[in-house]
Amino acid sequence: MILLILLGCAGGSSPGGDTATAPTTPTEPTPEPSTAVLRVQVTLDDQPGEGVLLTQPGTTLQWTTDSSGGAEVEVLLDLDGDIALAASHPEARIAGETISDSILEAGELEIALSRFLTTDNPAYVFQDPGTPTRSDTTDQCSHCHLSLTEDWYDSAHRSSASNPQLQDLYAGVAGALTEEDACLRAGGRWQEGRQPGTEEAAWRCYLGEGVLPSLNEGCGEELPCDSAEASPEQTGACADCHAPGIDGELGGRDLLEATGIAYDLGVHCDTCHKVESVELSASEPGVAGRLRVLRPLEETASKALGPYLPLTFGPYPDVLNPRMGSVQRDHFANGTVCAGCHQYDQPVLVPGEELDAARWPEGRLPVHSTWEELVQGPLGTEIPCNSCHMPPDAEAGNSADLGTHDAGESVGIATGWYRPAGSVRRHAWFGPRSEEQRMLGLAAWIDLQVETVEDELVARATVHNSGPAHAIPTGEPLRSLILLVEARCGEELLSPTGGDVVPDFGGAFDQKEADEDWELWPGAEPGQRIRVARRSGEWRDYTGFGPFGDGSFSAEEKGLPVEQWAGEAEILAVDSAGRVQLDRPLPEGERAWRVSALGLPAEGEAARAWAGAPGMAFARLMVGPQGERNVPHFMAVDIASDNRILPGQASSSEHRFEGGCEAPEVRAMLLHRAFPLELAAERGWPLSESVMAEASR
């Protein structure tokens, strides 16, 4: 810790309190002069450092050096903390020093900057971020950045590699089925593979598609692909974004190589803050291409600093703590760093399959397009991702918890200086899954209009994307939003009589086309419904993302048939062959689904099968090689439809119900669902739906 008695403080608030007169010409008549002028000379690798940004930490003062590397600066002496100067250049670690009494007297200061080496060092070991309860040494970021660590620890970034759904989809496993019996009953294979995050063997339930078994021919036929003997080649790029902290060569790594910190702590401090630049034109995701990671190569002799000279990229130009080796980059504050992983166009990964070149001339399918949705939205990059997902921390003294430690710590190079309230951003990445702030309520609102036309209630529901600067839903293509509309007289549900219905991706236990036997539903249970929709032959002409909105696709190519309510019947009994007895005859129609009962759900209730219910649904629908709909993106060979609601836009649907009483109530509810119902059921994932918006009339 650097302790320095300050001189030249005219104000009484500073520690040190001596009142020597500062060697300056006063610029304002009163109060007393509390500034000092210094002639600063900056070198960059021993040459004049032109265009170097000079700042006085703890203030907002800034200067830039001229072509000779010089600048005249007027530093503020009345300050809570040491008087210092920092020099920031994009090719060098920030350098500077505390301005001592003798420097002030001499009126001159020299700062030498050295360019950092620009070759990434694969031998570097990513540093331990620490955790909220593991922060005892300066080897952990949490030691000095505890508040940031606490927020990050609860975020989806921290659990991005250990995420059980990710691991299930990677190995083709249902991790929830931990007993052989349950596994076999579900149609799985009980085999010895590997415990994710470890090198250890473990018995697991192999079931359904997976990156390793589905993308590597022959893999998984005898031994599971995640067993020690297997060496699959196609790894689906999952680790490039979900486990960016695997040491060694960056990019194209097997997710199973993520062990230790890379597994437990996912997208962590030292992965994001080693990003030197973001290559928006690179097609490989995350650390495989779009994020240019630079791990330091310069060796140090100092044990305290580790084997290599510290190198940290961050938003600030004024951090002098030598433990940081700080370099300022704009891509943090303006959110461009997010585009490294929240934007991804994927080629077809399934062996032997190709994209339809007429539909996808670039040869890639948009999987994650959150960044592009923002860029193409009405505000462009004016409101960066950070402004909503990393809200300002009004309490933080600075980003290293200055002011929350023992009283009497001296403010200076080691601790950093006080920053204006709200300049530190919470590393919480609030999203639909965050306990503290789910954000879903900020994303959408429903405009519900109801009129009575000849004994029928006609409801028009318009869902507005009102909050996010990106589509809703965005991100993982397995997400969907489901709009449900119901009408009641008191407790009693009014029967729908027509209007738009939730498409198949709202979830069904089973589905049949017109030419199939609608009485045969093996696996059916009494109480479930058979719901029927009519298809008019027309297609919805919506404005979606990319070719679904830019005029490239016709309405038919946008893939959403107009489907209207035809009717439903309740299953009363099922015989052993699966033939159902219904409470009434089924109406005619083109599609039938086996689904759950109607009626808006209670918050937190397990997800229901909503296909065919009065309402609508919004998703990017990935299609598999056999035409399977709503597949995980690694199986995708096409996108059937993408009617997600773009920023600032809205989507309307119409729903009709029988009139029944004097004062019927119509209610609409918009639900956010994380995974397709069928996939969650197959893998034993818990699935509930969260309410995003409600309206009633």
Residues 115-174 that bind ligand HEC (CB under 6 A): 127, 129, 138, 141, 143-145, 148-149, 152, 156-157, 160, 163, 165-166, 169-170
What single letter denotes the amino acid at residue 481?
A: L
How many CB atoms lie under 10 A from the CB of residue 281? 6
One residue of 53, 207, 337, 446 binding ligand HEC per CB under 6 A? 337
Q: Which listed range, 172-180, 322-330, 511-519, 587-595, lies at the site for ligand HEC (CB under 6 A)?
A: 322-330
Nearer to ligand HEC, 237 or 494 (CB): 237
Residues 588-647 that bind ligand HEC (CB under 6 A): 634
* Least distance CB 668 / ligand HEC (angstroms): 17
| Residue 398 to residue 414: CA distance in whole angstroms | 12
* Least distance CB 379 / ligand HEC (angstroms): 8
1-4, long-range: CB < 8 A, 24+ apart: 1/409, 1/410, 1/412, 1/414, 1/415, 2/82, 2/98, 2/410, 2/412, 2/413, 2/414, 3/410, 4/82, 4/98, 4/100, 4/410, 4/412
Whether omega before 473 lies within 30 degrees of 0, making that bond cis, reads yes
**Tally of residues, the chain:** 697
How many CB atoms lie under 10 A from the CB of residue 512? 17
Whether omega before 31 lies within 30 degrees of 0, making that bond cis, reads yes
Residues 427-486 that bind ligand HEC (CB under 6 A): 427, 429, 431-433, 439-440, 442-443, 467-470, 472-476, 479
Buried b (16+ CB within 10 A) or exposed e, 394-408: eebbbbbbbeeeeee
One residue of 93, 204, 273, 464 binding ligand HEC per CB under 6 A? 273
* Least distance CB 19 / ligand HEC (angstroms): 28
Query: What backbone torsions phi and psi does residue 338 show, to the nearest 5 degrees?
Result: -65, -30
Residue 422 contacts by C-beta under 8 Å, 6 or more apart in sequence?
392, 393, 394
Residues 513-572 that bind ligand HEC (CB under 6 A): none
Residues 175-214 that bind ligand HEC (CB under 6 A): 211
Residues 646-685 that bind ligand HEC (CB under 6 A): 672, 674
* Least distance CB 518 / ligand HEC (angstroms): 34
Number of helices (H), then strands (E), in the chain: 12, 32
One residue of 95, 113, 250, 390 binding ligand HEC per CB under 6 A? 390
Nearer to ligand HEC, 464 or 656 (CB): 464
Q: Is 507 left (phi over 0), alpha (psi -120 to 50) or beta?
A: left
* Least distance CB 174 / ligand HEC (angstroms): 13
* Strand ranges inside 99-200, DSSP E: 108-113, 189-194
Nearer to ligand HEC, 78 or 689 (CB): 689
* Least distance CB 455 / ligand HEC (angstroms): 38
Q: Which listed range, 97-105, 111-119, 323-331, 570-578, lies at the site for ligand HEC (CB under 6 A)?
A: 323-331
Nearer to ligand HEC, 182 or 414 (CB): 414
* Least distance CB 678 / ligand HEC (angstroms): 15
3-state secondary structure 61-112: CEEECCCCCEEEEEEECCCCCCCEEEEEECCEEEEEEECCHHHHHHCEEEEE
Q: Which listed range, 44-52, 356-364, 426-434, 622-630, lies at the site for ligand HEC (CB under 6 A)?
A: 426-434
Per-residue binding letters, 279-318, with ligand HEC (x by CB under 6 A): ------xx-------------------------x-xxx--
SS3 269: helix
| Residue 308 to residue 127: CA distance in whole angstroms | 11
How many CB atoms lie under 10 A from the CB of residue 359? 13
Which tokens in the block code for residue 579?
Answer: 């033939």
Nearer to ligand HEC, 176 or 582 (CB): 176
Per-residue binding letters, 216-255, with ligand HEC (x by CB under 6 A): --------------------xxx-xxx-x-----------
Nearer to ligand HEC, 64 or 137 (CB): 137
Per-residue binding letters, 396-425, with ligand HEC (x by CB under 6 A): --xxx--------------xx--x----xx
Residue 503 contacts by C-beta under 8 Å, 6 or more apart in sequence?
560, 563, 611, 616, 617
CA 588 to chain centroid: 44
Nearer to ligand HEC, 23 or 314 (CB): 314
One residue of 270, 504, 638, 689 binding ligand HEC per CB under 6 A? 270
* Site size toward ligand HEC, by CB under 6 A: 95
* Least distance CB 558 / ligand HEC (angstroms): 21
Nearer to ligand HEC, 408 or 537 (CB): 408
Among residues 341, 634, 651, the alpha carbon closest in space to that of 481 is found at 651
Q: Which listed range, 223-231, 266-274, 544-552, 587-595, lies at the site for ligand HEC (CB under 6 A)?
A: 266-274
Which tokens in the block code for residue 426?
Answer: 């919470």
